[in-house]
Amino acid sequence: MTDSSVSAITIARREFVDLWGQMANHWGINRTMSQIHALLMISPEPLTAEQIMEELQISRGNVSMNLRDLINWGIVRRTSLPGDRRDFFVTEQDVWSMFQIILRERKKRELDPLLSRLDECMARAGRKPETPEDKAAHESYVKRVTELRDFFTTFDRLSSALLDNQPGSLAKAVKLIDKLV
Amino acid sequence: MTDSSVSAITIARREFVDLWGQMANHWGINRTMSQIHALLMISPEPLTAEQIMEELQISRGNVSMNLRDLINWGIVRRTSLPGDRRDFFVTEQDVWSMFQIILRERKKRELDPLLSRLDECMARAGRKPETPEDKAAHESYVKRVTELRDFFTTFDRLSSALLDNQPGSLAKAVKLIDKLV
DNA sequence: CTGCTGCTTCAAAATCTTCTGAAAGCTTGT
DNA sequence: ACAAGCTTTCAGAAGATTTTGAAGCAGCAG
């Protein structure tokens, strides 16, 4: 297919894959992994590794490893078609569910460890020291770590609430906050 | 100061700086930048570039550039002490304000551009095509992009609401969401 | 059993990011 | 105007991450 005959939808799809890849950068996520995810999101049917290779112009090994990671995150799964030996891949179809899966993983991998480590930080600070300079250091340290712990605890509660809830709950939350103004 | 005479508070401070640096990785933020931020957060008084260099064992140039970035983000500012020609640096003292500043910047740099680009993606998809395969591609593309747009619009509203609000609003919102279950 | 297809792995290569240190730029005091 | 003290910049070095491609594995059909 020559460039001059590429359909509008093909161009739009590439734009979206690129967009999703760029976003990944800002979030500490591998760009290619994100592009594979984008491709699966907008595909009406499951894709093979081969199709992904071709569309993104990347190696077989790269596709394989990134798919493994996406599967570990729980947002992609393997599927198969009768009479075809190849693996096919699909991503979670619902945006809210996808968000919940990602939130659940990030909470587990980042928020929970963050809270324990903040506790550790508090534990290590020890008792108020005697020397005046250490005293000031101790005081502002304890204050700040405590504040951060409180803040992230609230965040943790928000995550839990969103994980327990139905699709519309984020929208509801927004309305509730608006009313608090 | 030899290792054996390092006070508990010094060890705790290092633990915190390290923690904050690790967290940065997960969020697509430069580790050193985050460590400088951590150091400023837990310091009772403003610090000089020299103090930061020594504590983190990094070069003068590195400190200078990362401080510039932190200042551009709006979470650190320059200050000065009478009778001292050196620049001193402090970070926003309040955790909620700090969160708002970061949220405001990330919204401006990521969320707003994301929404415009999603609109662009929709615009480029064009009218429903005639060939059956393009039709299926078009349909699932439009569906997915629309869903994502809606999702991030809600997110955008949440950001705006949090930016307009007082410290406790996040906590209040969490409680309200809990009641919705 | 053998050959074929497709998947995974991993060491080395390519690429991207971050850091250093020397040079140039300011500002202030003399 | 000059020197001293401090800061900024940026090209190249160092370090980290990502990608490739070839070797090896696994399941299947003949």
Phi, psi of A29 (to 5 degrees): -120, 140
- CA dist., res. B110 & res. B151, Å (int): 15
* Residue reference for tokens 């709950």: A169
Q: Is the confidence at residue B2, as pLDDT, over 50?
A: no
Q: Do B145 and A42 touch (CB under 8 A)?
A: yes
Put simply, whether A181 touches B (Cβ < 8 Å) is yes
The structure tokens listed for B82 are 């009478």
> What's the mean pLDDT in A148-164?
94
Q: Does A6 touch chain B (CB under 8 A)?
A: no
Q: What is the pLDDT of residue B180?
A: 67
**Contact state of A129 with B178 under an 8 Å Cβ cutoff:** no
What is the Cα gyration radius of chain B?
Answer: 23
What is the residue-averaged pLDDT of chain B?
92
Give the mean pLDDT of A96-104: 95
* Neighbour order of strands in the sheet with A76-79: A47-48, A88-91, A76-79
**Amino acid identity of A172?**
K
Predicted confidence (pLDDT) per residue in B124-180, tens digit = 998 877 887 789 999 999 999 999 999 999 999 999 999 998 887 788 778 877 776
- Are the Cβ atoms of A161 and B181 closer than 8 angstroms? yes
Amino acid identity for residue B49 in this structure: A
- pLDDT at residue A181 is higher than 70: no
Confidence band, pLDDT 50/70/90 cuts, at residue A104: very high
Q: A91 or A170: whose pLDDT is higher?
A: A91
- pLDDT (tens digit per residue) in B6-59: 889 999 999 999 999 999 989 999 999 999 999 999 999 999 999 999 999 999
For the purposes of burial, counting CB atoms within 10 Å of the CB of B179, is it exposed (0-12), middle (13-18) or buried (19 or more)? exposed
Q: According to the model, what pLDDT value does residue A4 have?
A: 56
Question: What would the two tokens of residue B143 be?
Answer: 């569906």
pTM across the whole model: 0.93
Residues of chain A positioned with their CB less than 8 A from the CB of B174: 154, 157-158, 161
- CA–C1' gap, A84 and C4, in angstroms: 14
